[in-house]
């Protein structure tokens, strides 16, 4: 499968624990995005990378959240000291920036986080 993959698909954790999610983008895609989606809502942007550089972070991304893309390939999203409000689906998407203004973003299956 050459699509975007995410691991794990489901994560249940207790409040206060740290969790880390991984995203593997489509090979050669230079842009990688993280979104969060709560039940019944559309996804909301968290952050994005172009190659290994993190270019933008949403105000939604508190200091408990950190994302990395160390070699410009896969990315990790870590949440420290999880809270019940962090329960959501975390979606990763990738795209190929060709120098123009328009890129189709392809989404992975998401990681569903439940904080007890």
Is residue 93 a contact partner of residue 101, using CB atoms and an 8 Å limit? no
Q: Is residue 21 near another protein by the rule CB under 8 A?
A: no
DSSP 67: E
In our burial notation (b when 16+ CB lie closer than 10 A, e otherwise), range 85-96 reads ebbbbbbbbbbe
**Contact window for another protein (CB under 8 A) among 17-25, 68-76, 77-85, 92-100:** 92-100
Interaction pattern, residues 46-85, with another protein; x per rule: CB under 8 A: --x------xx-----------------------------
CB-wise, 3 or 16, nearer to another protein? Answer: 3
Q: Following DSSP, what letter does each residue of 88-107 receive, concatenated?
A: EEEEEEEE---SSS----EE
Q: Is residue 35 near another protein by the rule CB under 8 A?
A: yes
- The candidate with the shortest Cα–Cα distance to 107, out of 51, 34, 47, 57, is 34
Q: Judged by CB under 8 A, which of 24, 45, 52, 72 binds another protein? A: 45
| Positions that interact with another protein (CB under 8 A) | 4, 31, 33, 35, 40-45, 48, 55-56, 89, 91, 93, 95, 97, 101-110, 112
């Amino acid at each position: 499968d050459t699509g975007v993959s995410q691991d794990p698909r489901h994560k249940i954790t207790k409040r206060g624990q740290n969790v880390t999610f991984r995203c593997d983008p489509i090979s050669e895609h230079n842009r990688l995005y993280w979104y969060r989606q709560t039940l019944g809502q559309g996804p909301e942007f968290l952050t994005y990378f172009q190659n290994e550089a993190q270019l933008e972070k949403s105000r939604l991304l508190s200091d408990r959240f950190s994302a990395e893309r160390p070699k410009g390939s896969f990315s990790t999203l870590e949440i420290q000291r999880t809270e019940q409000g962090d329960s959501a689906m975390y979606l990763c998407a990738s795209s190929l920036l060709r120098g123009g203004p328009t890129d189709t973003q392809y989404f992975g299956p998401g990681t569903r986080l439940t904080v007890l």
